[in-house]
Every structure is written in C-alpha cells, then in structure tokens.
Structure 1
Amino acid sequence: MRIVQELLFVILFGTAVWLFAQKAGRIRKSILLGRDKDLNDHPDQRWKNLLLLAFGQKKMFRNPLVAVLHFFVYAGFLIINIEILEIILDGILGTHRLFVPVLGSLYPVLISLFEVLAVLVTVGCAIFLIRRNILKLKRFISKDLDGWPRSDANYILITEIVLMLLFLTMNSADQALQAKGAAHYIPTGNFWVSGMFAHFFSSMSDGSLEALERGCWWLHIAGVLAFLNYLPYSKHLHIILAFPNAYYASLEPKGEMENMPAVQHEVQLMLQPELAANAPASDTMPKFGAKDVMDLTWKNLLDAYSCTECGRCSAACPANITGKLLSPRKIMMDTRDRLEEVGRNIKANGAFTDDKKSLLRDYISEEELRACTTCNACVQECPVSINPLDIILQLRRQLVMEESSAPAEWTGMFSNIENNMAPWKFSMDDRDKWTGE
C-alpha cells in the first residue's frame, strides 16, 4: 500500500512540476518577443532595489497596517512552504516527518513558528477578503476588475486560507495520534498552535484520526501543487516575477523620457544643416513607437506579467481620478492579455500569423493614451516597479510619428516647434520684444 502511495505521489509531483515548467517556458518566450534592452548597469543598485522593493516591500509600508498584513501573507506563505520540502521527501521516500531525527528538539520549534505564520496568513487573507468584498474599497470595485480579475483575487485568498487550515488540522491530528502512541507517528514534541487543539480529536478512533491526518496531508500537498500551476494564469504570478522586475527596474530619474536616437539625429541636422553632407546614409527607416506587444521592450512585457492588479497606480492617476478613461492598471492588464493572445497564436501556428489585431486600438484606445499627463504617479506608486507610462509613451509615439494622429492642439504645438523651435507661435527674433515695451 505504501509503495502505491509513493508511486501516486511521484506521478502527481512530476506532472505538476512538468506542467508548471511548460507554462513558465511559454511565458519566458512571450516576454522575449519584446525588443532587446540592456538593463545590466549598476548591479549594486539593482540588488538593493530587489532587496528593498521585492523582499522588503518598501513601497507597501506607506500604509503600515496594510503593509504588515500583506507582509504576513507574503512572508508567511513563502516560509511555511519550506515545510513542503519535508512533505515532498516524505511522499517520495514513504517516510513520515523525515526531519525529526535530524533536527531533534529544534523541529517542534520550527513547526510551531510555521503554525504561527499560518495563523497570521489566515487572518491576513480574511481581512483582505473583507476589504475587497464587504468594505469594497474603491480601487477593488473598479470596472477594470469586472469578471475574471475580481474572481481571481478572491480564489487565491480563499485557497491560501484553506491550505493553512489543512496544515493546522494535519498537525493537530498528528499530535493526537502521537498522544495515542499510534504506529509510525513518532513523538515530535508539542506544537504551539495545533497542540492546543489536539485534545478535540482525542475521542476519535486511531483509524479515523489517521484518515483525517492523511487526508489533510494529501489535500495540502495537492493544493500547493495546484496553486503552483494556477500561478501562471493568475495575477499572483507577481509572487515570482516581482523579484526580477525589481532588479531590472529603470534607474533613470522618473521624469526623464527615453530619447530616440533617430529623432535626435534629425533634429541635429535641422539645427545644423551643414552636418547633412557627412551624415551616414541609412537603408532602413526607423520605426517610431509601438503598435503591438512585439514592438515594446522585453521589460515592458515583464512588467505586464508582474502586475499585481492592486490598482494603486490608477488610484493615484490624476486622469483617472477626474473621470477620464485612462487607467494605468488596465494598460498593464490589456498588454498582458494581448501578449497571451499572441503567445497562443504562435503556439498554434509555429510562428505569429497576422490576426488583424494590435495592442493599439483593439485593446488600448487613443482616448486612454491622450488622457495621460505623464506625471509618473503610476510609476511612483507601483509596489513592484512597473512602468505603465513607458508603454503609454511608446503607443503615443506610434500614433503621432507613424500615423500623424494627434489632437488639433498638439498639431499646432508641433508646428510651432518645427518652425519656431519652441511651443509658442513666435519666431526666435520676436520672442524678446516684450523686454523693450
């Protein structure tokens, strides 16, 4: 019987890891569809960002209460899953609590700490469910989250609560079996949380207790493996991608926009026509801006997959606050949705086949893009270093520089800059006349 259980576990574990690796590989390929961008400078600062923003969740602590709750859920869930190593080895080897002889008296202390964290995770998730579904904070009831995104967040929180309760129930049943001297349930010492509830199970028979303990064990590990494979389809993929995303975050000042060398060269020739004779000829016309996800950089696409859909960006966006159509959160969600669609297209056809769609217009409208004030509030607020503004600017460049699509007010300004080298409708010779009046 034990061999059958070991075989079933190996099949379950191997299948889960294989499926996750397949999906992770497809996500990686999708991200690498973006244009290349070198973000390997200043590694010391990048490691600092990773430690402070991803591990330390520095930006979250602007709201200390929410930050502490989130830290309990985040750190607790990750640390508790260290115990998964023992469960996996027990499942493969057919043992029970393999690390007890190795860790000795330290073992019950570690499990007890894991149990305390499990309680904190449960409390934190319950409070977050209340905030989303009962208190209904404004950023959680936005139409951006209608449908699957809202359900996704609730499913994850409920799943985490269930997994923690299974962990605690498993340990309580285990403690009760130890007290009864059941075979294979070696003494581990008292667990701080589950030990308080073990006596509630003492009236159960050994067989019933063992079925409860084994049932919780199987449901817990199966739930963790199912959660692992749910992550790539969920906003909670940020649990993994927040770390590389923080490392590769832009180190440029937030108000500084990326220059386009091709445009800069044309401006230099306009200001100094004598340079045109020595300018190198180019056989290809540069492409300005981005129309679809393949025109964005790989970092933009990593941003899209890293989005937590928390809505802090949209809550801080002045355009969104004043009722305009723009929502930075929606920009990131639309980019991810389009990238997923492109990925499915490539998987089905071997290479991308034109589907007569693009990120611009089919997912993100001109009205949304033109509402942006480029204030960088969304960039500042994002807890995982996402830059929605960079995507907005690239799509706007496509509209203006490739399609000559701009509001009349912008067109007048462009004309003035071209003719007068300034946004105002005055020639350079006339600009200082007011000083003589």
Structure 2
Amino acid sequence: MQYLSNILFAILLIVGIGFFAKNVKKLIRNIKLGRDLDVNDHKSERWKNMAMIALGQSKMVRRPIAGILHAIVYVGFIIINIEVLEIVIDGLFGTHRIFSSIGNLYGVLIGAFEILAILVFVSVILFWIRRNIIKLKRFWKSEMTSWPKNDANYILYFEMVLMTLFIVMNATDSHFQDMNSGNLISQFVAPWFNGLSEGTIHFIERGAWWIHIVGIFIFLNYLYFSKHLHILLAFPNTYYGKINPKGQLDNLEAVTKEVKMMMDPNIDPFAAPAAGTEGEVPAKFGASDVQDLNWVQLLNAYTCTECGRCTSECPANQTGKKLSPRKIMMDTRDRLEEVGKNIDANNGEFKEDGKQLLDDYITKEELWACTSCNACVEACPVSIDPLSIILDMRRYLVMEQSAAPVELNNMMTNIENNGAPWPYNQMDRLNWKNE
C-alpha cells in the first residue's frame, strides 16, 4: 500500500510539472511572436530594478494598505511553500517529515511558517473584503467582467484553503505535536480534534497532506490562465522594463533615415535600398495586431496583474473618457491568446482570421483619448508600459491609414506649411511684439 501511495504521488508530480512545462513553452512561443527588440543594455540598472520592484515590492507599498497586505501574502506564500520540498521527498520515498532530523532549526522554520500562514489568511480575507464588500472603484470598472472578477476571487479562495490545510495538517500530525517544537499555531487547533479516534485523526492528517499538495499543483497550472501569472513574470518584466526616461519616445529607424536622406543633397532619393540593409523600409509602420508589437510589450501583457492602478491614475479615464490602460493590456493578452490558439489549431501556422487588435479589441477612441502623460507607466507596480502599445497603434493609424483626428491633421498641415503648429505665416510670427 505504501508503494502504491509513492507511485501515485510520482504520477501526480510528473503530470503536474509536465502540464506546467507545456504551458510555459506555449507562453514563450506566444511572446516570441512579437518583433525582436534588443534590451541587453544597462544590465546593472536592470538587475537593480528587478531586485527593488519585483523582489522588494518597492512600487507596491506606495499604496500602504494594499502594499503591506500584498507583501505579507507574497512573502508568506513563497516561504511557506518551501515546505513543498519536504512534501515531495516524503511523497516519493515514503518518509515522514524528513527534515525534522535537523533538530531545533526545523521547529523554528515550521513555527515561522505557521505564523506566516495565519498572516496570509488574514491578509487574504482583507483583500476579499476590499474587493467584494467595500468594492473599491478600480476593481469594478467596465473591463472587469465576470472572468476577471471571478479569477481574482478564485485565487483568494485558493490561498485561504491552502493555508487552512497547512495548519490542519500540522495540528493532526501526532508525531509533530509530540515534538512540541514549531507548533506555535497548530497546538491551539489540535484540541479541536480531541475525542476522535487515532485512525480518524491520521486520516484527516493524510487527507489534508494530499489535498494540500494537489492544491499546490492545481494552483501552479492555473497560473497560466490567470492574471496571477505575474507571480512568475514580474521578475523578467521588471528586468526588461523601460530604462530610458519615461518621456523619451522611440523613433522608427526607417523614418529617421528617410528624413536624413531628404536633408542630404548628396543622396539620390530614387535609389532603392539594398535588401536586408538598415535603410530597408519595414513592411508596416506601427502596430495593428499583436505580431506588430515587440516581444517586451507582449511580455507586459502577460504580466499584467489587472490591479487597476494604471487606470485609477489615468487623467483621461478620470474625466470619463473610454480609455483604460488596464483594458489595453487585457485586450492585448486576449488577442495574443487568440492568435496562439489559432496557431495550435493550424499545426503551428497562423491562419488569417479576419481579426486584429485594432478595432476588434481596442478602438480608435481609446487610443486618441490618451494624453501620453505616462501616469499609467509610473503607477504600475511591475513596470508595465501601456503607453508604448498606444503610441505604436497611433503610429499605424497616422502613417498607414492617415486616420489621425482632424485637430492633429490640422496641426501637421500647419507644421508642413508654416513650420509651426499654429495657422500663421512664418513672416507673421512676431507680430505679437508690436501689439
């Protein structure tokens, strides 16, 4: 019977890790659908950003209540699951609390885990209250439809159950309770099971042990389908995040070269660039679909926590305009997932589906409502840049479709004719001095 248990555990481990690895492979494939982008510069600064923002939660605590609660859940959940290593060894080899042989240090570790489990449980309840009873405005925007709202609650319930199982597992483990070392919380729960037979208590302990580890594998594989994928992707996303000043926009190399050619009298404007050279004109200016975005922007989309800090800081959204930076990221991820499923269904090749990110997911109204203020970029706790996607899609509208708003077209016409955004002849610019 013991060997059967070990075999079942090994199968569970292989299936759980295997399915997770399959989804990670698909995730990497989808991100690589984006354009190539060289982000190997400023490595020391990038490592610092990852340490401070992803690991140190420096941007989370700018909103103290949510930041502190999140830090407790983050640290507690990660540290408590260090015990998974012991569970895996026990499950594979039929041992029981194999690390207890290290003596008092084991008691210190498990004691710390139990305290953290209670702190995580309380923090998760407070998160649930903020989301479902207090109903903070940023959690109830129009883009937060049934799935995003349910997804957030599912994870909260998951964490409540896993923390409860951890304490129950320890409280019903007679061997662990007899050690009287590390049972700082579970010693007060153990009396709840007094009066039950030894066999029943052992059954409860084994049941909690199995459900706990199965729950961890389910949680691990649920991440791919959830906004909580940021648990894994926050680290690479903050590393590859924008290093340049937030107000600095990137230029299209082909356009820059075109302007230089126009200003150089020695260049033959009719000479076509050689294929593969830097001066070769790109197939498309800007972005109308996810394949036109770069891979860092697609990584951003998968990393989005849907916390809504970006939208709550957006001045356009605050004044009632349709734009929500969070929705931009959610739409990008949804379209990317749709493209990925299309590829899976067509033997690794994308079959044109008549859809694109522009118009089918993100409207022109949303794009032109943006003030380019970078408030969303500054607010994001994991260095996501919704503005870069908005600007690339605007670039497509202007340069590929000539679909800029009337006001912008007027400004560009004035610049072309008068060398300035205003509708005044260059000779009349200084007339104001004589008034």
**TM-score, with structure 2 as normaliser:** 0.95
Q: Equivalent residue for 1:78?
A: 78
Pair 1:210-2:209 in alignment: no
Distance 1:190 1:400 in 2: 65
Q: Equivalent residue for 2:58?
A: 58
Q: Equivalent residue for 2:8?
A: 8
Q: Equivalent residue for 1:133?
A: 132
Do 2:120 and 2:163's aligned partners in 1 also have CA atoms closer than 8 Å?
Answer: yes
Distance 2:95 2:194 in 1: 24
Pair 1:326-2:323 in alignment: yes
CA drift at 1:188:
6.2
Distance 2:243 2:228 in 1: 25
CA drift at 1:178:
5.2
Pair 1:156-2:148 in alignment: no
1:54-75 deviation per Cα after TM superposition (whole angstroms, max 9, x unaligned): 0111111112222111100011
Do 1:304 and 1:332's aligned partners in 2 also have CA atoms closer than 8 Å?
Answer: yes
CA drift at 1:430:
3.2
Q: Equivalent residue for 1:374?
A: 372
CA drift at 1:40:
1.1
CA drift at 1:233:
0.4
CA drift at 1:278:
7.7
More off after superposition, 407-416 vs 417-426: 417-426
CA drift at 1:415:
1.0
Distance 1:33 1:419 in 2: 41
Quick one: percent identity of the two aligned structures?
54
Distance 1:356 1:278 in 2: 37
CA drift at 1:146:
1.1
345, 350, 355: which one pairs with 1:348?
A: 345
Distance 2:421 2:371 in 1: 17
Q: Equivalent residue for 1:147?
A: 146
Distance 1:97 1:124 in 2: 28
Q: Equivalent residue for 1:434?
A: 432
CA drift at 1:195:
1.5
Do 1:369 and 1:392's aligned partners in 2 also have CA atoms closer than 8 Å?
Answer: yes
Report the CA distance shift for 1:277/1:434 in structure 2 as closer, same or farther (over 3 A). farther
405, 408, 413: which one pairs with 2:406?
A: 408
Partner of 1:409, secondary structure, is: helix
- Unmatched 5+ stretches in structure 2: none
Q: Equivalent residue for 1:184?
A: none
Do 1:109 and 1:191's aligned partners in 2 also have CA atoms closer than 8 Å?
Answer: no
Distance 1:119 1:193 in 2: 8
Matched AA of 2:259: V
Report the CA distance shift for 1:415/1:6 in structure 2 as closer, same or farther (over 3 A). same
Pair 1:339-2:339 in alignment: no
Partner of 2:355, secondary structure, is: coil
Matched AA of 2:311: S
CA drift at 1:42:
0.9
232, 237, 241: which one pairs with 2:229?
A: 237
CA drift at 1:391:
0.2
Matched AA of 1:136: K
Distance 1:178 1:410 in 2: 71
Distance 1:279 1:44 in 2: 45
- Unmatched 5+ stretches in structure 1: 182-186
Distance 1:328 1:318 in 2: 11
Partner of 2:427, secondary structure, is: coil
Distance 2:415 2:26 in 1: 45
Q: Equivalent residue for 1:219?
A: 211
Q: Equivalent residue for 1:276?
A: 267
Partner of 2:422, secondary structure, is: coil
280, 305, 310: which one pairs with 1:313?
A: 310
CA drift at 1:436:
4.7
Report the CA distance shift for 1:34/1:190 in structure 2 as closer, same or farther (over 3 A). closer
Distance 1:268 1:84 in 2: 60
1:128-174 deviation per Cα after TM superposition (whole angstroms, max 9, x unaligned): 00000000000011111111010000000011010000000000001
Q: Equivalent residue for 1:69?
A: 69
Matched AA of 2:272: A
CA drift at 1:197:
2.0
Distance 1:412 1:435 in 2: 25
CA drift at 1:407:
1.2
Matched AA of 1:377: A
**How many residues end up aligned between the 2 structures?**
428
Distance 1:289 1:24 in 2: 28
